[in-house]
Structure 1
């Protein structure tokens, strides 16, 4: 995503015509929207994600520095089941947030909280800043296409 952001912004900046600059920014926004949706689609097709087992495995066997208290969450199947479904549903409905500015603001807040949690729990810091850096492209595209 970081390389995609840099490439699209560079193309927008050096573009000989505003149309091509807008095309580069729109491409970035669409890729960001798809990054959530496709991730949710892949997860929901996986029976381990639907049962909560995949998330339990992430907590239990993660190579990332997860504390023992957090690893213990893997032993709570109801928590893992609920968290798995919350992630999958959010990722799948993320594109719908594009249709209304208030919904998009809420989706950005939830997504940022999700990425911040991953950064704190698993040390995946770059995802937080990288995905947040791409959010303005969706705001721009929403305003450009829907005018809200």
Structure 2
């Protein structure tokens, strides 16, 4: 994948993430989130200066909601926006910006896996059981019974930990990278369908093209 294609795909996927978020929150601030939707559409159409407005809107949202109100997905979206904006505004550092995004994507999995590994509640499945048992998301109501299956929860927990810790190994070859990204996409999609974490899907997918380009660049 060429750098230009990776940057363009990152912009499009980022715009989808921002439009989705804007559509969900527009009732809470028509002006703020309506502008976000319009700028996201402009970015899809290739009008890259819209990223500067979107980045500014992101800062406004941080101030208004006193931090990333949707947690990790907001942080990832802001990271992607910052890297894309830097790539356009400082062409000499464009490849550095996208490489930084790729490294941060890998670290987001590896660090999360390491934190879970050190937590005994994650190792024995307790943490995941509590997620299913006490999730506040409506689309999880029919899935609470899964919390009563400890072996399944433990196996799923260990699977998540193993997948996240192994993500750096995806850089070894193109085949392992595509396999890892496929698993990652299914992981985020399942989190969206089962736990209501739909914003994480597009937030993380937006960084995938950067990693595909970066790995190919490393292997030369």
Query: Quick check: 1:128 aligned with 2:164?
Result: no
TM-superposition CA deviations, 1:53-104 (whole Å, max 9, x none): 0000000011222444310000000000000000000000011011111111
User: Which SS does the other structure have where 1:63 is aligned?
Assistant: coil
Computed over aligned residues only, the root mean square deviation of the Cα atoms, in angstroms, reads 1.0
Alpha-carbon distance in 2 for matches of 1:13, 1:113: 31
Q: Deviations over 1:82-135 (max 9, x none)?
A: 000000000000110111111110111101001001111121111101101100
1:6 lines up with 2:88 in the alignment: no
- Cα distance in 2 for partners of 1:16, 1:93 equals 33
Structure 2: gaps (5+ residues): 1-75
- The corresponding residue for 1:70 is 143
CA contact (8 A) 1:44 1:50 kept: yes
Aligned to 1:112: 185
Contact 1:59–1:66 (Cα < 8 Å) also in 2: no
Mean CA deviation greater in 136-145 or 61-70: 61-70
**Which shifted more, 31-40 or 58-67?**
58-67
Matches within 5 A, 1:44-63: 44-63=117-136
For the pair shown, which has the larger CA radius of gyration, 1 or 2?
2
**Misfit runs of 4+, over 6 Å:** none
1:28 paired to 2:66: no
Q: Give distance in 2, aligned partners of 1:49 and 1:16.
A: 43
**C-alpha displacement of 1:16:** 4.2
Cα 1:144–1:61 change in 2 (3 A) is same
